Chain A
Amino acid sequence: MNFAHPQDAQPTPEVTITEQRDAPVQMGPFTGRPSFIFDVPFPQAVMPLGEGDKTIRLWSQPTMRYDSARATVELQPWNIRLRMEEAGNIPREIARTFLTLWTKAERQTLSDPEKSRWAEILEQVDFQQFCVEHAPTRYVQGLLKTRTSAATTVLWQDGTEENVTGAPRTALDLVNEGEAFSAHVRFDRRARTAEIANIAILGDPVSLQASGDDSWIQKR
């Protein structure tokens, strides 16, 4: 499956002048400035968060509305309005707005207007990618089956087998073949292990198994 993001290749933004609200130009000394409203697609598709290892990726370009009379720029449906000279802060404001609404959504504290804005914003954001990047690490156990020069094969405790490659593979260097280990892992967009931390060597996998006599069921 091709996971290339459609926004990776950016088309040239088209600028449209949607409205001219100014009165006809008066003869005589210039007293005000002409007023125009420009609608421009916001060209940046990936908003960095923090140090940039986490991102917010947009499926579609939101529209930036420049209002020359008020000297403001507005981004909808994000409900972001900034002074024109602060337009460079739009990625930061997008990230802030998204994180604020996401936190409220997870805590079930969105107000009704926020709910509808959140729904509109979600239509523009690759939420799955965001959640993959923001997932906490999780505890797992596995058995290192084989190690070759190309990959390390791990049998995870749910029965799935995975060829671990790249950086996570290096983390398994301490584990011998046939040894069981526990670790905290994070997955990528293909459910492959993207990060392994806090490795503990558990030794012989037989010792990890349940007592085997089913007696635990009756222990209650």
Chain B
Amino acid sequence: MDPETLIVDFWDVGQGNASVITLPDRSRIIIDVGPRTSPLHDWLTLQPDKSIWALVLSHNHADHVGGLPSILAIPGLQIDTLFMLQGPKGGGPTFPWILGDVETAYKRGTIKNVLQLTAGQQIWNSPDRKVVLKIVFPSFLPGIHAKTQNDTSGIVVMESCGGGTVVWAGDAMFEDVCTSTNPAHPYLLHGPHHGAPQDYPSHDPKRMHRMLRTLAPARCHISVGTLNTYDHPNRKYLRHLADSKCAVTCNQITYKCDPRFHVDTPKPVMQIHGRLGLRPPPTGIACRGPLRLYVTGATIKPDEWVAEHREKVQKRCGMNALCIPTHA
């Protein structure tokens, strides 16, 4: 493997998001940490080097930041910069607790810098500037994206000169993903909103489909939990992606793909967590589990189990699998 390669792991944390980017110097950037039960905590606890270059929290919902207090309490953890939004404020007493933990960690020096997540910030770039990781949404400038600070989700983009882009869409609106991702046709779109964009389908489905065709991601990885109570993912959204030749994968299987999962054994489709040296979440049944990308300035490549997973999911779920195109 090229020593300049970045390893991007989209973790399976059940219903929630967590990604770890391992930089060429072995330090890490983490984008979201997953829910309270996130296996990222167990993995980080046992890592000999616990330094984190940047921790980016796309927004402050429990399935994206719920594991933060546990992670901040890991002995020896060092975070250079934490990027986060300032809200929500109206969510009861619990979120201020998490903010309180951030404040405590900042005061004791576990976190060196705390920055507000806002478009235009560059999180990391390679020395030759061929790979750049930056925040593209939200912008709080009036008249551009006049959203409140409390009710939005950040979008992070990794640009590889020759390989394309990887988009972490968090729980952002699909329209915001389309308008802030430039150029279109990302190599991988992560999300948004666990495969059920909140504005999809909108009052104007044709417009949404047009936008989806314009965005045209080559791959889409959905972080959805088997036991989620929100009816995620959106069947139409996934079918639409799959039918437009986008390679769709989900970390966990849901009843929409495997209607008999609740009576059959909870055997996962694949256990890629173990193969990658990562850990699974305590709940849910893995479908793809985590996804790993190898990113250089010239290429982006997925791990070697793409074909095997496709074969296994087809064998288990047949045409019920939302990632299989209807014309396949």
Q: Which residues of A contact B (CB under 8 A)?
A: 1-3, 5-6, 59, 102, 105-108, 110, 115, 118-119, 122-123, 125, 127-128, 131-132, 134-136, 138-141, 143, 155-160, 187-191, 205-206, 208-212, 214, 216-217, 219-220
Binds A, one of B109-117, B154-162, B178-186, B208-216: B109-117
Is A157 a contact partner of B114 (Cβ separation < 8 A)?
Answer: no
Binds A, one of B41-49, B126-134, B235-243: B41-49
- The listed residue (A3, A138, A160) touching B266 by CB distance below 8 A is A3
- The complex places the Cα of A2 from the Cα of B266 at a distance, in Å, of 8
- With A108-B277, A159-B92 in contact, is A123–B271 under 8 Å at CB? yes
Which A residue's beta carbon lies closest to that of B42? A135
Is B86 a contact partner of A217 (Cβ separation < 8 A)?
Answer: yes
Is B267 a contact partner of A59 (Cβ separation < 8 A)?
Answer: yes
Q: Which residues of B contact A (CB under 8 A)?
A: 14, 35-37, 39, 41-43, 45-46, 62, 65-67, 69-70, 73, 86, 91-103, 106, 113-116, 227, 261-263, 265-268, 271, 273-277, 279-283, 286
Shortest beta-carbon contacts, A-B, top 8: A158-B66, A139-B73, A210-B99, A209-B96, A138-B70, A159-B94, A157-B97, A105-B277
- The listed residue (B73, B97, B280) touching A128 by CB distance below 8 A is B280
Question: Between A and B, how many residue pairs show CB distances below 8 Å?
Answer: 143
Interface centre among A123, A156, A191 (most CB of B within 10 A): A191
Kindly provide the distance from the CB of B119 to the nearest chain A CB, expressed in whole angstroms.
Answer: 17
Is B282 a contact partner of A106 (Cβ separation < 8 A)?
Answer: no
Which B residue's beta carbon lies closest to that of A220? B113
- The listed residue (A105, A106, A206, A216) touching B46 by CB distance below 8 A is A106
- The complex places the Cα of A24 from the Cα of B169 at a distance, in Å, of 71
Is A2 a contact partner of B262 (Cβ separation < 8 A)?
Answer: yes
Interface centre among B92, B99, B113, B261 (most CB of A within 10 A): B99
Kindly provide the distance from the CB of A116 to the nearest chain B CB, expressed in whole angstroms.
Answer: 10
Q: A102-B274, A110-B277, A158-B35 are in contact. List 20 more A-B contacts (CB 8 A).
A: A1-B262, A2-B262, A5-B265, A118-B275, A123-B271, A127-B271, A128-B280, A128-B282, A128-B286, A135-B279, A138-B42, A158-B62, A158-B65, A159-B62, A159-B92, A188-B282, A189-B282, A216-B102, A217-B114, A220-B114
- The listed residue (A107, A143, A191, A211) touching B283 by CB distance below 8 A is A191
Is B280 a contact partner of A189 (Cβ separation < 8 A)?
Answer: no
Is A191 a contact partner of B46 (Cβ separation < 8 A)?
Answer: no
For A188, the chain B residues whose CB sits under 8 A away are 282
Is B43 a contact partner of A106 (Cβ separation < 8 A)?
Answer: yes
- The listed residue (A3, A123, A131, A139) touching B42 by CB distance below 8 A is A131
- The listed residue (A1, A139, A209) touching B100 by CB distance below 8 A is A209
Is A136 a contact partner of B70 (Cβ separation < 8 A)?
Answer: no
- With A127-B273, A220-B115 in contact, is A140–B97 under 8 Å at CB? no
For B93, the chain A residues whose CB sits under 8 A away are 143, 205-206, 209
- The listed residue (A2, A107, A138) touching B41 by CB distance below 8 A is A138
Kindly provide the distance from the CB of B269 to the nearest chain A CB, expressed in whole angstroms.
Answer: 11
- The complex places the Cα of A50 from the Cα of B198 at a distance, in Å, of 48
Is A139 a contact partner of B103 (Cβ separation < 8 A)?
Answer: no
Kindly provide the distance from the CB of A143 to the nearest chain B CB, expressed in whole angstroms.
Answer: 8
Q: List 17 A-B contacts (CB under 8 A).
A: A1-B227, A1-B266, A105-B274, A106-B277, A123-B271, A127-B273, A140-B70, A157-B98, A158-B35, A158-B36, A159-B91, A160-B62, A191-B282, A206-B93, A208-B100, A210-B103, A216-B114
For A216, the chain B residues whose CB sits under 8 A away are 99, 102-103, 106, 114
For B70, the chain A residues whose CB sits under 8 A away are 138-140
Is B280 a contact partner of A127 (Cβ separation < 8 A)?
Answer: yes
Kindly provide the distance from the CB of B185 to the nearest chain A CB, expressed in whole angstroms.
Answer: 32
For A6, the chain B residues whose CB sits under 8 A away are 265, 267
Which A residue's beta carbon lies closest to that of B261? A1
Kindly provide the distance from the CB of A181 to the nearest chain B CB, expressed in whole angstroms.
Answer: 12
- The complex places the Cα of A159 from the Cα of B45 at a distance, in Å, of 24
Is A191 a contact partner of B277 (Cβ separation < 8 A)?
Answer: no
Kindly provide the distance from the CB of B318 to the nearest chain A CB, expressed in whole angstroms.
Answer: 21
For B271, the chain A residues whose CB sits under 8 A away are 122-123, 125, 127-128
